[in-house]
């Protein structure tokens, strides 16, 4: 029997339904591995990754209402049953709603740099976030970061390098990225067109929780 096309309700995970750690198999209806993208924007990376890897489950976290809806609607139009979108603060989601050792890969592409000093507290990366991210990753799981913002990268990289449970390496361009791209997100395309330098790294979890 043919499957019904997905509706937006199949893709969106209402933030107010969260009470405690999320049950991934229940959310996706299967036991496949889970990857999480923080700050999906319009969802270009998420959609391409989910199309290329139907046996991987993807959760996109985006707090901007406009982008979160846009990305979710793209997933619906592509009929991607392996995508869920949630609108919430990713810091809170990773710390409070992600079961330990349950995420294979964390994708963080062009995180908001909040360049003004008085706004630095809004940045995603701090030692608490790194600790929560490490806890969420499965052993051998990976965290990928790509940014155009050198000053922020010069904070992110030492934070990751200073964590004994992580091993840093060069970031390899994603399979779904276009020629000359690292990940193929909308922000990356904009910044490459402006000739900006892109900074990136991968951190792999090397020990248990």
CA dist 103 → 78, 139, 142, 162, 186 (Å): 24, 9, 9, 21, 24
- Whether 113 contacts 125, CB under 8 Å: no
Of 11, 34, 90, 163, which lies in the binding site for ligand SAM, with binding defined by CB under 6 A? Answer: 90
By CB under 6 A, tell whether 148 contacts ligand SAM.
no
Is 170 assigned a catalytic role? no
* Minimal distance, residue 27 CB to ligand SAM, in Å: 18
Nearest-angstrom CA–CA distance, 95 and 99: 9
Q: For tokens 């900006």, what's the residue?
A: 196
Nearest CA-CA partner of 106 in 198, 34, 208: 34
Of 153, 182, 187, 199, which lies in the binding site for ligand SAM, with binding defined by CB under 6 A? Answer: 187
* Minimal distance, residue 46 CB to ligand SAM, in Å: 9
Which listed residue (112, 148, 170, 175) is catalytic? 112
By CB under 6 A, tell whether 153 contacts ligand SAM.
no
* Interface contacts to ligand SAM, rule CB under 6 A: 38-41, 61-64, 67, 89-91, 109-110, 112, 124, 185-188
């Amino acid at each position: 029997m043919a499957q019904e096309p997905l509706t937006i309700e199949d893709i969106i995970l209402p933030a107010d339904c969260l009470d405690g750690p999320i049950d991934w198999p229940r959310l996706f209806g299967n036991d496949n591995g889970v990857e999480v993208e923080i700050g999906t924007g319009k969802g270009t990376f998420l959609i391409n990754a989910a199309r290329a890897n139907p046996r991987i489950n993807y959760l996109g976290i985006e707090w901007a209402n406009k982008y979160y809806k846009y990305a979710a609607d793209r997933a619906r139009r592509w009929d991607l049953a392996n995508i869920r979108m949630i609108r919430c603060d990713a810091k809170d989601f990773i710390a409070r709603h992600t079961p330990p050792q349950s995420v294979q890969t964390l994708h963080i592409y062009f995180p908001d740099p909040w360049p003004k000093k008085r706004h630095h507290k809004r940045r995603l990366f701090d030692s608490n976030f790194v600790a929560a991210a490490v806890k969420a990753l499965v052993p051998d799981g990976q965290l990928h970061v790509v940014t155009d913002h050198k000053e922020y990268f010069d904070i992110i990289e030492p934070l990751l390098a200073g964590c004994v449970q992580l091993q840093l390496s060069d970031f390899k361009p994603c399979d779904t990225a276009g020629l000359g791209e690292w990940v193929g997100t909308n922000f990356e395309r904009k910044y490459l067109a402006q000739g900006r330098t892109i900074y990136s790294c991968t951190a792999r979890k090397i020990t248990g929780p």
